[in-house]
Amino acid sequence: LMVTPKESHPRVTELLLFIFFTSVFTPPKILDLHLPETNRFPRPCLFLQVNGEKERLSLLVSRGSVDAVSQQMASHPQYLESFLRTQHYILHMDGPLPLPYRHYIAIMAAARHHCNYLVYLHSTHFLRVGGDPKWLQGLEAAPPRLRLLDHINKVLAHQPWLTACSHIQTLLKAGEQCWSLAELVQAVVILAHCHSLCSFVFGCDTDADFVPLSSKSPNGTPPTFCPFDAANGNTNVPQSHATPSEHITGRPVKIHFLIISFPVIVSFKDTEEEEEMICLADPSRFITDPDFCYQEFARKEEDHFQVFRVQDYSWEDHGFSLVNRLYSDIGHLLDDRFRSVATLSSLHSDDLKRAIWNYIHCVLGIRYDDYDYGEVNQLLERDLKLYVKAVACFPDSTKTPVCPLRWTPLKTSERIHINLLIMEARLQAELLYALRAITQYMIA
């Protein structure tokens, strides 16, 4: 693969290169790749010339390179790069969990919020990496070890302050079905990542536009979908409904793509059965206790939950070092995401961004002793507060419709920025609760 920029913004070129080169080639249902040596050489190259942002994105989507979520984030390329690196690492790079387990855990996480978009996409990837189609019949069809994650999945998704040392102990001492500490940490990171991504998906209405077509042509693909799939003939990837309404750069870009097509022999087995499994992958079949949902952290009549004080356990001083020790390098990737979203250029003041972040942590039971919470009411209008809380705590409309926000004065990138802040604040909150419980187990 070669990308030759002409008159293009260097940051855009860098991002495009990143999206292409971080993809992993996982062709669906490949059963036989015994190719003669003479056929291992690439076919003639296909040159594509692109003029303008809209045409460029259209090409990338048609080649299976950019999903709807990435298109939304593309207005903030420096953040998108950090997001894609993290997601690629936890789903595809070295780690204690097998690839099918990772995508099934992602399905379980997305199902808690009835996020059809993510459930469908991870179901597709679950099959691509060799997952057993029978598992998609529901949680009861999954291995016992995965079913053991159901409780912590439920708690982290809706009431993370309930996460306790006892939950960790149950998973690590479950006899033959027990989890190792490294496996559990990776599972928790995937759960928190997908829960928070659900908030972004619903906040940007990506799920509302999603209509499953078939297992071979999902509406958008995860950012790790490889463009070589299209080169191999799998071009039935429709454009997503969500496209950025503003340019990343202020001038047209002209980029030449050199896409190399590799010959691949693909054998299909039980295609119709597997396609039906995906289409029938109703999110509700991957969860238990569907009535369990977000509740106000501190009700006056039952204020018995202890506030999580950042001064006692913080990401910078405790969570980062623990997760990095148990799951190599993920701490650096997550920390880069938190820093990227905080430093994005924006019309919003730093005080407003801090107020949004701290407000989300507050409704999830996390408090900062050195912060004046009076600033939240001063800086956040009522509509914005309602929207932020809804997207962070109960994003799926099956329980409470997401409160509409008057977006008129805001540019597209500003709207996306608010949703990115919500997603990252929620991600860090879930990680803090889970990692604190793991720490308590380790020192008990």
Last residue of a domain, one of 226, 253, 286: 286
Query: Both 225 and 315 in a single domain?
Result: no
292 part of a folded domain: no
* Domain annotation covers residue 133: yes
In this structure, is residue 357 part of a structural domain?
A: yes
Residue 118: per-residue pLDDT:
95
- pLDDT in the model for residue 364: 96
User: How many domains are contained in the chain?
Assistant: 2
291 found inside a domain: no
Annotated catalytic residue, options 45, 115, 165, 279: 115
**295 within a domain of the structure (yes/no):** no
Residues 266 and 400 in one domain: no
Q: Both 182 and 320 in a single domain?
A: no
- Res 56: pLDDT: 53
Q: Is 165 a catalytic residue?
A: no
Q: What is the DSSP pairing of strand 308-309 with strand 46-51?
A: unpaired
Together in a domain, 216 and 304: no
Q: Is residue 258 one of the residues assigned to a domain? A: yes
Q: Based on the fold, state whether residues 233 and 99 are members of the same structural domain.
A: yes
CA distance 69 to 412: 14
Amino acid letter, residue 38: T
Between the alpha carbon of residue 267 and those of residues 25, 33, 259, 271, the distances in Å are 16, 9, 24, 10
Residue showing tokens 């006899």: 175
Three-state DSSP class for 346?
coil
Q: What is the pLDDT of residue 398?
A: 46
Question: 54 and 259 in contact (C-beta within 8 Å)?
Answer: no
d(CA 108, CA 112): 7
Whether 28 and 161 map to the same domain: the answer is yes
Residue 401 near residue 205 (C-beta atoms within 8 A): no
Q: What is the pTM of this model?
A: 0.76
Q: Are residues 342 and 272 in the same domain?
A: no
Give the span between the Cα atoms of 348 and 346, in whole angstroms: 5
Whether 244 is covered by a domain: the verdict is: yes
Spatial separation of the C-alpha atoms in residues 152 and 221, rounded to whole Å: 27
pLDDT for the residue 101: 98
User: Do 306 and 282 share a structural domain?
Assistant: no
How does pLDDT run across 235-244, given as a tens digit for each residue?
A: 333 333 333 3
Please tell me whether residues 232 and 309 are part of one structural domain. no
* Cα–Cα distance for residue pair 444/439, rounded to 1 Å: 9
Residue-level pLDDT at 167? 95
Give the range of the structural domain holding residue 18, as residue numbers without chain letter. Answer: 2-286
What angle, rounded to 10 degrees, do the helices at 116-128 and 271-279 form? 160
pLDDT beneath 70, residues of the chain: 1-66, 207-281, 299-304, 347, 397-410
C-alpha Rg value of the chain to the nearest Å: 22
Phi and psi at 367, nearest 5°, equal -125, 150
- Does a structural domain hold residue 294? no
Q: Which two tokens stand for residue 256?
A: 């030449």
